[in-house]
C-alpha cells in the first residue's frame, strides 16, 4: 500500500462513499463511531480477497511489498499460531525450555510434568520451523497460499484475454493527450462537506474530452450481477466518483466538465467462485445520475450533524417531535 492510498484510509476528516453507505444503513451514530475509531470496519475473507486482487491488478509493485506466497507448513489452528508466535518472540536461551514455555502458553490442561510436554512441543516446533523463522525476521507481508497465487495469475490472464477489460486496465494511448491513473486519490468537497475518493482506474482522453471511469468488483454473482449492483448500490458509488472527477476537472485541470466532457462508466466483474470469469458491464449516465439525489441528501444531513456535533439520533429526530418516517 503506497503513502497516498494509506493517507486515504487514515483520513477520517473526510467522507467517502463507504461512509455514505454506513449512514444510510446504520445511521449517524454508527458513522460517528466509525469516524472516531470507536467501532471497527468490515473484515472477512471475501473483503481480504477483493483487496488482494485489486492490488495485484492495479498496483503490482505494491503487491509484492504487501504479500508473500507461502508453500511450506503453516499453523492451522489458533493454538498452533500462538505457539509459533510465542516461540518466535522467546528470549529463553535453552531450546527445550523455550518450546515448553511456548507450548504451555498456547494450550490448557497440560500435564504438570515437562517431560510429558516436551516431545509434543519439539514435534510442533520442528513441523513449523520455517514459519517460526519467518516470524523472527518480522516480515510484515501478508502470507498467501500457492492456491491464491494461482488464482491471481488466472484472473490476470483472463483479463488480458478479454477484448475490453484488457484495454480498460492498460493504457494503449500513452501520450500528451491521454492519462491513465490507477488507485486515483481525490480529496474534494460537495454540499459543503469534505469528501475523499479512491478510484480504481480513470482514463482522461484530453483530445476528445472523454473521461472513462472503471471499477473492479469481485463477485459470487457474475451471472446475475444485478443482484450485487442493487445490494451494494454500486450506482451510488459510481455517481459519487463521477462528481469527484467533475470537481477534479474544474479545480485541477481548469476545464468545464458539464459542457465539454463526456463520461463513460464500466465495472469489471471478477468471479470468485472458482472459474475466475471476467465480464465487463457498461452503465449509462442516466443510471449513474439516478443516485445523485440520495448522495446530496445524505451529505446535507452529515453537514448538519458535523456543524451541530449531534450524532446520537437522525436529523429528523432533532428537528421534529422525535418521530421518524419510513421510506416504504
In a domain, 242, yes or no: yes
At 172 the pLDDT is: 59
pLDDT band at 295 (very low <50, low <70, confident <90, very high): very high
Same domain, 79 and 126: yes
Quote the pTM value.
0.86
Same domain, 231 and 276: yes
In a domain, 194, yes or no: yes
CA–CA distance, 228 with 231 (Å, rounded to integer): 5
Same domain, 42 and 132: no
CA–CA distance, 136 with 252 (Å, rounded to integer): 47
Residue 243 belongs to a domain with what CATH number? 3.90.320.10
pLDDT in tens, 160-202: 999 999 989 876 555 667 888 999 999 999 999 999 999 999 9
Of 119, 143, 167, which residue constitutes the final position of a domain?
143
Same domain, 97 and 232: no
Q: For residue 271, what is the enclosing H or E element?
A: strand 262-271
In a domain, 318, yes or no: no
DSSP string over 152-184: HHHHHHHHHHSTTHHHHHS-S--BTTEEEEEEE
In a domain, 246, yes or no: yes
CA–CA distance, 211 with 260 (Å, rounded to integer): 11
In a domain, 48, yes or no: yes
Please tell me the total count of domains within the chain. 2
In a domain, 91, yes or no: yes
Same domain, 19 and 138: no
Q: Is residue 274 exposed (0-12), middle (13-18) or buried (19+ Cβ within 10 Å)?
A: exposed
Q: Is residue 312 exposed (0-12), middle (13-18) or buried (19+ Cβ within 10 Å)?
A: exposed
> Three-class SS of residue 205?
strand
Same domain, 89 and 182: no
At 19 the pLDDT is: 97
pLDDT in tens, 254-274: 998 887 899 999 999 999 998
Same domain, 98 and 242: no
CA 219 to chain centroid: 14
Q: Is residue 68 exposed (0-12), middle (13-18) or buried (19+ Cβ within 10 Å)?
A: middle
Q: For residue 50, what is the enclosing H or E element?
A: helix 45-58
In a domain, 328, yes or no: no
In a domain, 291, yes or no: yes
Q: For residue 268, what is the enclosing H or E element?
A: strand 262-271
Place of cell 520451523: 129
CA–CA distance, 37 with 19 (Å, rounded to integer): 13
CA dihedral 43, 169, 273, 225 (to 10 degrees): 90
At 24 the pLDDT is: 97
Of 104, 127, 143, which residue constitutes the final position of a domain?
143
Same domain, 87 and 154: no
Separation in Å, CA 47 to CA 104, 146, 166, 218: 34, 19, 24, 9
Helices (H) and strands (E) in the chain, counts: 16, 7
Q: Could you tell me the residue range of the domain that residue 109 belongs to? A: 72-143
Interhelix angle 292-308/234-251, rounded to 10 degrees, is 70
Same domain, 249 and 167: yes
Separation in Å, CA 32 to CA 16, 26, 254, 305: 13, 11, 34, 9
Same domain, 45 and 77: no
CA–CA distance, 282 with 213 (Å, rounded to integer): 10
At 320 the pLDDT is: 95
Same domain, 110 and 55: no
Of 143, 177, 202, which residue constitutes the final position of a domain?
143
Same domain, 189 and 286: yes
At 11 the pLDDT is: 92
Amino acid at each position: 500500500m503506497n503513502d497516498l492510498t494509506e493517507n486515504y484510509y487514515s483520513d477520517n476528516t473526510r467522507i467517502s462513499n463507504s461512509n455514505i453507505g454506513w449512514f444510510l444503513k446504520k445511521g449517524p451514530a454508527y458513522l460517528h463511531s466509525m469516524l472516531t475509531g470507536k467501532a471497527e470496519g468490515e473484515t472477512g475473507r471475501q473483503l481480504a480477497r477483493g483487496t488482494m486482487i485489486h492490488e495485484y491488478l492495479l498496483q503490482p509493485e505494491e503487491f509484492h511489498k504487501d504479500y508473500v506466497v507461502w508453500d511450506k507448513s503453516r499453523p492451522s489452528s489458533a493454538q498452533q499460531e500462538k505457539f509459533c508466535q510465542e516461540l518466535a518472540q522467546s528470549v529463553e536461551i535453552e531450546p527445550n525450555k523455550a518450546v515448553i514455555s511456548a507450548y504451555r502458553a498456547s494450550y490448557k490442561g497440560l500435564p504438570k510434568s515437562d517431560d510429558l510436554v516436551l516431545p509434543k512441543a519439539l514435534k510442533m516446533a520442528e513441523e513449523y520451523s520455517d514459519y517460526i523463522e519467518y516470524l523472527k525476521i518480522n516480515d510484515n507481508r501478508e502470507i498467501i497460499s500457492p492456491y491464491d497465487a494461482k488464482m491471481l495469475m488466472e484472473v490476470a490472464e483472463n483479463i488480458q484475454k478479454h477484448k475490453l477489460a484488457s484495454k480498460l486496465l492498460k493504457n494503449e494511448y500513452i501520450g500528451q493527450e491521454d492519462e491513465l491513473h490507477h488507485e486515483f486519490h481525490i480529496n474534494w468537497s460537495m454540499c459543503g462537506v469534505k469528501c475523499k475518493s479512491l478510484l480504481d482506474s480513470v482514463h482522461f482522453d484530453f483530445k476528445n474530452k472523454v473521461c472513462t471511469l472503471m471499477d473492479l468488483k469481485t463477485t459470487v454473482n457474475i451471472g446475475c450481477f444485478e443482484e450485487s449492483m442493487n445490494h451494494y448500490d454500486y450506482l451510488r458509488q459510481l455517481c459519487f466518483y463521477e462528481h469527484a472527477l467533475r470537481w477534479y476537472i474544474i479545480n485541477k485541470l481548469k476545464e468545464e466538465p458539464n459542457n465539454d466532457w463526456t463520461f463513460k462508466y464500466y465495472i469489471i466483474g471478477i468471479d470468485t467462485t472458482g472459474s475466475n470469469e471476467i465480464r465487463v458491464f457498461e452503465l449509462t449516465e442516466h443510471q449513474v445520475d439516478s443516485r445523485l439525489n440520495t448522495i446530496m441528501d445524505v451529505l446535507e444531513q452529515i453537514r448538519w450533524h458535523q456543524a451541530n456535533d449531534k450524532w446520537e439520533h437522525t436529523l429528523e429526530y432533532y428537528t421534529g417531535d422525535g418521530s421518524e418516517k419510513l421510506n416504504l
